[in-house]
Amino acid sequence: MQWRYQEAVELTVGRFVERAVPDVGGLERAVFDAVPVTASDAPEAWHISAFIPTSAQECWLEFDLLAHDAAADSWEARDLQALRGSRNPDDPTTYRWNDVDGVWEVARA
């Protein structure tokens, strides 16, 4: 059985991947987790965490999914944050996604 917000999560993650992580090659190996949260402006809200393996680096994405109706037809994703880092122990650089400018920035070297 599919979770009623599964399509919203997959759409949000898919859009992020198209824009920020072109080397994913599909979301088949992505792992999602959803935790209910309280939001003052939505009857139902979830904090979504996604682990997205890529060809060279790991990517962790988080955002809040706010549902504006019980039918899951009206929703919005906000507060998107992402980190990306190398699997190579000789390269400890971590990158943070800047959603405003659409670029990865060094978070820790």
For residue 107, pLDDT beyond 90: no
Cα–Cα distance for residue pair 58/70, rounded to 1 Å: 34
For the stretch 28-82, pLDDT in tens is 888 899 999 998 888 889 999 999 988 778 899 999 999 887 666 788 999 999 9
Extract the tokens encoding 42. 């939505």
Whole-prediction pTM? 0.85
Residue with tokens 């929703």: 75
